[in-house]
Structure 1
Amino acid sequence: MNPVIYVPQSKRLLEQLCEVLRYKHYSFKTEQAYCYWVRFFVRWCGRVGPMRHPRDMGAAEVTQFLTMLANERRVSVSTHNQALSALLFLYRDVLGIDLPWLAEVQRPTRPRRIPSVLTKAEVAALLGTMEGETALLGKLLYGTGMRLMEGLRLRVKDVDFDRQVLVVRQAKGGKDRVVMLPKSLQEALKAQMARARAVWSHDRVVGTAGVEVPDALAVKYPDLGCRWGWFWVFPSPRLSVDPRSEVERRHHLYEERLQRAIKLASAAARIAKPVSVHTLRHSFATHLLQAGTDIRTVQELLGHSDVSTTMIYTHVLKVAAGGTASPLDALMAA
């Protein structure tokens, strides 16, 4: 039995694309990325040939576009796959065209690379050069293994000091999970929540709209976004306009703020390795495995669906351990 395809009501192509993405509960970042690639595809095809609607194009145009990205733009494998996913979504889910060539379009293979991992001394040096709430957030990400957006989207109700756990909501793949709350961060986190409470109280006094809440909860419970439990642990110092609802409200801390702080801290600590926010997550997993933690436990803490994804850190351990002696050492000793 064929699945029922949602028929968008809008007339413009990009509006139809956004309508279907929202109907299927895709994230706003995915919506932005897919709109970019569809717009890019249509404009590029119009430059190399007559301007046509994607409905009137097919395998030849999609293949030429992807070939251009790989050969002329030299995009990465992940970017190439994202562009392909956007076009497949356009044809299958928006235009309702399920042509045989769609299944034959080959995705580029993403190479399995060993992630960059910091030593414990390097993590200490990195976090030691950071200050304020970015330092606390960096320590929280390293101490729990959370992704950047999982830490930024942390809400007051999901911090459990009694059980010493954090509940990560709607993580990658829409899954929830529970991670440990580092004992060394409890007091700092309580102080951060006290500062967030002051911001929340000010918003309530001046009548600011409540924070964003998932799905249709705001319709069922109109005041839910104004409740303290749903407020951000790391609120933004400024109000911003919601790009979908166009309501001015309090957002969580902007992700680039921590990303910039990590780059500056890495330079200050004179770390030669490539360092990003995600490096803290890689280091968390590697250091747990080094300490003898079971790989299934690490898999649960990271939120991986398959243990094979977590197994990449065992390769990091092999490189870091250096247990096998080089034949050159024996030769020089002789």
Structure 2
Amino acid sequence: MDQIDKSYFDDELLDFFDIWMKDHGLTEQTQKAYLGDIRQFLKSASAKQITEIESIDIMRFLSTKRQRGAGDSTRNRCLASIRSFFNALVEHKYVTNNPALNIKKSKIDKQQIPSYLEGDYLALFIESIQGKYQIRNVSMFLLMSYAGLRVSELSKLNISDYNKSNAILRVNGKGRKWRIIPLPDQLVYILNLALDARIQPKKKSEQAFFISQFGRRITVRTIQKIAESNFSEFKKKHSELLGKALSSHKLRHTFATQQVIAGTDIRTLQELLGHSSIQTTQIYTHVGDKQKQEAMNRVIPILPKFQSVSK
């Protein structure tokens, strides 16, 4: 097969993989990242047909990524991309085996603490939100910081997912896994205001809870840009935060951290966050020195009083 035919076949495989990921419920962000990884990988293995690719070809690709500055997380994502790609090919009998299955992931420091908004900064940030779409934006930020929603989940949220009378939210999470989030009264109040102020969509049939200024379902990137803009303004008023990486996802980190500090058990937190593995949730079980000291003081034993013995 000449180079032109090989390139055409690779494009066909990419189209197939794109459809496969959509069918398996992967998020738009994941689809985009995986397609980019596979495009690079197929280019690196252009001398071979897809049925000829071996583990060494994948390891060589990952090694090259590392040499070019990729960290452990990026390497592991690339490996996950290739594994998923070959899983799809095996599933539809393009190939007979997955050469990426036995390649080990890079070990990542599990003690790395996710950054979050400490103390009163979260309340100050929420109060700082201004502008024409204030209620919509406040509602989105509150759902991330007080209900633990991901940005992608905000984008997918429909009006029908919100039950006013029962004060619950149905969340369509990763891998099309649904979870139920009970909402506190204060959050219900804000969401009701957001519904009243909801932008009129261009299509009357549009059921998205959050609508962009252009009358369409708000996108993940739009939410991220709104957060970036508001955090930028917030940092101008709080110079002590200038070196801190704050983003829309950090609001979810803040929610998880608040829950841990409040004493929420790890299994409940896993359910609230929609994690498929409890190991993912465990990165949030970090508390500051103050919380550690308070915990130790709560369980200190009542010791008997000893008199010094003088010789």
With over 3 angstroms needed to count, the CA separation of the structure-2 counterparts of 1:192 and 1:38, relative to structure 1, is same
Matched residue, 1:173:
175
Which letter does structure 2 place at the counterpart of 1:261?
A: S
| Equivalent residue for 2:261, pick from 284, 290, 294 | 290
Say whether the 8 Å CA contact 2:24–2:175 is kept in structure 1.
Answer: no
| Equivalent residue for 1:60, pick from 56, 59, 63 | 56
Matched, 1:69 2:65: yes
Matched, 1:233 2:229: no
Q: Deviations over 1:25-52 (max 9, x none)?
A: 4444333222212221232345xxxx44
Say whether the 8 Å CA contact 1:168–1:177 is kept in structure 2.
Answer: yes
**Unmatched tracts of structure 2, length 5 or more:** 1-8, 295-311
User: What is the alpha-carbon distance in structure 2 between the residues aligned to residue 299 and residue 18 of structure 1?
Assistant: 29
Matched residue, 2:145:
142
The range that moved more, 265-274 or 280-289, is 265-274
Matched, 1:257 2:243: no
After TM superposition, the structure 1 = structure 2 runs for residues 142-161 of structure 1, keeping only pairs within 5 Å, are 142-161=145-164
Which letter does structure 2 place at the counterpart of 1:55?
A: T
Describe the SS at the equivalent of 1:251.
coil
User: What is the alpha-carbon distance in structure 1 between the residues aligned to residue 208 and residue 98 of structure 2?
Assistant: 47
Question: Which runs of 4 or more aligned residues in structure 1 lie more than 6 Å from their structure 2 counterparts after TM superposition?
Answer: none
Say whether the 8 Å CA contact 2:27–2:174 is kept in structure 1.
Answer: no
Describe the SS at the equivalent of 2:157.
coil
User: What is the alpha-carbon distance in structure 1 between the residues aligned to residue 193 and residue 107 of structure 2?
Assistant: 46
TM-score, normalised to structure 2, is 0.75
Deviation at 1:234, TM superposition (A): 0.8
Describe the SS at the equivalent of 2:245.
coil
Deviation at 1:65, TM superposition (A): 1.0
Say whether the 8 Å CA contact 1:130–1:265 is kept in structure 2.
Answer: no
Which letter does structure 2 place at the counterpart of 1:172?
A: K
User: What is the alpha-carbon distance in structure 1 between the residues aligned to residue 264 and residue 78 of structure 2?
Assistant: 38
After TM superposition, the structure 1 = structure 2 runs for residues 313-328 of structure 1, keeping only pairs within 5 Å, are 313-314=284-285, 316-319=286-289, 321=291, 323=293
Matched residue, 2:95:
97
After TM superposition, the structure 1 = structure 2 runs for residues 100-249 of structure 1, keeping only pairs within 5 Å, are 101-112=99-110, 113-131=112-130, 132=134, 133-169=136-172, 171-196=173-198, 199-200=200-201, 203-204=203-204, 210-211=205-206, 231-238=207-214
Please report the RMSD computed on the Cα atoms of aligned residues, expressed in angstroms. 2.9
Q: Deviations over 1:40-90 (max 9, x none)?
A: 1232345xxxx4433333233222111010122x21222212212222333
Say whether the 8 Å CA contact 1:146–1:302 is kept in structure 2.
Answer: yes
**Unmatched tracts of structure 1, length 5 or more:** 1-8, 205-209, 212-230, 240-249, 325-334
With over 3 angstroms needed to count, the CA separation of the structure-2 counterparts of 1:75 and 1:318, relative to structure 1, is same
Matched residue, 2:12:
12
Describe the SS at the equivalent of 1:178.
strand
Describe the SS at the equivalent of 1:273.
coil
Which letter does structure 2 place at the counterpart of 1:40?
A: Q
Deviation at 1:273, TM superposition (A): 3.0
Describe the SS at the equivalent of 2:250.
helix
User: What is the alpha-carbon distance in structure 2 between the residues aligned to residue 320 and residue 313 of structure 1?
Assistant: 16
Paired residues, what number? 273
Matched residue, 1:227:
none
Say whether the 8 Å CA contact 1:21–1:31 is kept in structure 2.
Answer: yes
User: What is the alpha-carbon distance in structure 1 between the residues aligned to residue 203 and residue 65 of structure 2?
Assistant: 46
The range that moved more, 110-119 or 87-96, is 87-96
Which letter does structure 1 place at the counterpart of 2:293?
A: G
Say whether the 8 Å CA contact 1:10–1:16 is kept in structure 2.
Answer: no
